[in-house]
């Protein structure tokens, strides 16, 4: 026969004596398949953390495969990882060094990297930084502790609350009487001890400075309830501010209050300002609150500035008026005054002085003018 035929069954297979090359190839192929299967099982065991099974499968194969082959280097890397997982660092270092002689450059780099990790110095940690776990055998039984705590909880449980009352519900008359008495007492205590002072200063033309203060005059020394608040307003905004304050007072009292009507007019004549104030507040539908006092202080106004006042205005100092609006009546106040302007007077004086200077200079030049050729006026 010039060529060997492919065997179709065991009867047609060549004998070892007649075809040794065929038997050698078959043995090599069988060993390679067994090696691949063992490597696959070892990788799965390594992923599960079963390091002893990895070593049991790979140690018999390590004697047959030299470290210079690719399969031998990969096998020793798996063994080094298993030894490291079991805490056998010396054996892991030995396997890593053996894998470092592999012909495959990639496996050689992996072996050197693993060897560097294994040969790294161990970090020394003090005892104070470690957590000591107690021995489970020396601890008391948790079942006994749980039973004891359950018994103690049952003993400490309070008595169950009494059942809710049944029957017809009675109205809490006593509570209502106490609440009404308390509210009346607070009303009597707070009523009659509040005084509201609002001061308007009209010194600057077109601007008004407002100072408001709530205080209690019942004591020997006035006690400020709300700290004094100061505002600088333009004259057109004064009416809106006053209406806003009245709305706030109405919310506090719980009753509607009519809004006041205020008109403020100014005319600037350069040397002075003519001012007129008209304030009307209709409180005919408002009941009197015992002890509540409202004071409007107007400065600087003299008593002669008052054209109409209901109720009457009291003089307060040399340049001030005190007006107290009263409930159950229509309150009206009309003021008119003239204020000299220092700036305007100064400007008028300077203008008059300049005019007089120009006139005198013209007269002097007229006296020195010549009457005719070569003649001068005496």
Residue 325 belongs to some domain of the structure: yes
Mean pLDDT of 140-154: 60
Residue 169 belongs to some domain of the structure: no
Range of the domain at 73: 22-118
Tokens found for residue 315: 């003089």
Same structural domain, 112 and 201 = no
Angle of CA points 217, 219, 221, to nearest 5° = 80
pTM: 0.40
Give the whole-number percent of the chain exceeding pLDDT 70: 65
Cross-strand pairs, 293: 195
Residue 353 belongs to some domain of the structure: no
Domain CATH code at residue 86? 1.25.40
Tokens found for residue 101: 């002689």
pLDDT digits (tens, 9 = 90+) for 321-337: 888 888 888 899 898 88
Same structural domain, 87 and 210 = no
- The predicted pLDDT at position 26 comes to 47
Mean pLDDT of 345-356: 87
Any idea which of 12-16, 162-166, 181-185 has the lowest mean pLDDT?
12-16
Q: Is the pLDDT of residue 371 over 60?
A: no
- The predicted pLDDT at position 228 comes to 56
Same structural domain, 199 and 303 = yes
Residue 170 belongs to some domain of the structure: no
Which residue, 98, 118, 138, sits at the end of a domain? 118
- The predicted pLDDT at position 334 comes to 92
Name 340's Cβ contacts closer than 8 Å, sequence gap at least 6: 271, 272
Contact 73, 102 (CB under 8 A): yes
Residue 23: count other Cβ atoms within 10 Å of its Cβ: 15
Counting Cα atoms < 13 Å in the Cβ hemisphere of 208 gives: 24
Distance CA 157, CA 235 (A): 73
Angle of CA points 199, 283, 263, to nearest 5° = 50
pLDDT digits (tens, 9 = 90+) for 208-266: 788 877 665 544 334 343 445 666 767 677 777 777 777 777 776 677 778 888 887 88
Same structural domain, 95 and 230 = no
Same structural domain, 202 and 316 = yes
Which residue, 118, 151, 184, sits at the end of a domain? 118
Q: How many domains is the chain built from?
A: 2
Q: Phi and psi at residue 160, in whole multiples of 5°? A: -60, 145
Mean of all residue pLDDT scores within the chain = 73
Contact 77, 41 (CB under 8 A): no
Which residue, 86, 118, 150, sits at the end of a domain? 118
Q: Would you give the DSSP letter of residue 278?
A: E
Residue 158 belongs to some domain of the structure: no
**Of 65, 64, 69, nearest in space to 104 by CA:** 69
């Amino acid at each position: 026969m010039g060529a060997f035929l492919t065997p179709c069954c065991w009867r047609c297979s060549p004998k070892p004596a007649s075809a040794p090359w065929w038997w050698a190839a078959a043995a090599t192929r069988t060993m390679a398949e067994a090696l691949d299967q063992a490597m696959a099982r070892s990788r799965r065991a390594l992923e599960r953390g079963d390091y002893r099974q990895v070593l049991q499968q790979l140690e018999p194969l390590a004697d047959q495969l030299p470290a210079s082959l690719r399969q031998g280097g990969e096998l020793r890397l798996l063994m080094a990882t298993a030894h490291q997982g079991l805490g056998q660092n010396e054996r892991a270092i030995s396997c890593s060094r053996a894998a470092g002689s592999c012909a495959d450059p990639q496996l050689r780099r992996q072996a050197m990297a693993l060897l560097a990790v294994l040969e790294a110095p161990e970090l020394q940690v003090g005892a104070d930084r470690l957590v000591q776990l107690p021995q489970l055998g020396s601890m008391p039984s948790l079942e006994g502790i749980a039973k004891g705590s359950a018994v103690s909880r049952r003993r400490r449980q309070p008595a169950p609350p009494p059942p809710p009352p049944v029957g017809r519900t009675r109205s809490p008359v006593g509570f209502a009487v106490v609440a009404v008495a308390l509210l009346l007492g607070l009303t009597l205590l707070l009523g009659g001890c509040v005084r509201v002072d609002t001061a308007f200063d009209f010194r600057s033309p077109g601007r008004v400075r407002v100072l408001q203060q709530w205080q209690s005059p019942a004591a020997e020394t006035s006690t400020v309830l709300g700290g004094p608040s100061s505002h600088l307003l333009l004259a057109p905004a004064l009416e809106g501010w006053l209406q806003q304050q009245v709305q706030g007072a109405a919310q506090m009292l719980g009753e509607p209050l009519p809004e006041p009507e205020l008109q403020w007019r100014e005319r600037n004549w350069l040397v002075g300002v003519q001012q007129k104030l008209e304030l009307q507040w209709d409180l005919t539908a408002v009941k009197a609150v015992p002890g509540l006092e409202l004071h409007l202080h107007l400065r600087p106004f003299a008593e002669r500035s008052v054209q109409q006042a209901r109720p009457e205005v009291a003089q307060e100092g040399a340049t001030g008026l005190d007006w107290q609006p009263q409930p159950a009546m229509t309150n009206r106040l009309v003021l008119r005054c003239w204020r000299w302007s220092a700036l305007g007077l100064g400007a008028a004086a300077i203008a008059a002085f300049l005019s007089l200077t120009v006139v005198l200079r013209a007269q002097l030049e007229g006296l020195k003018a010549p009457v005719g050729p070569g003649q001068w006026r005496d």
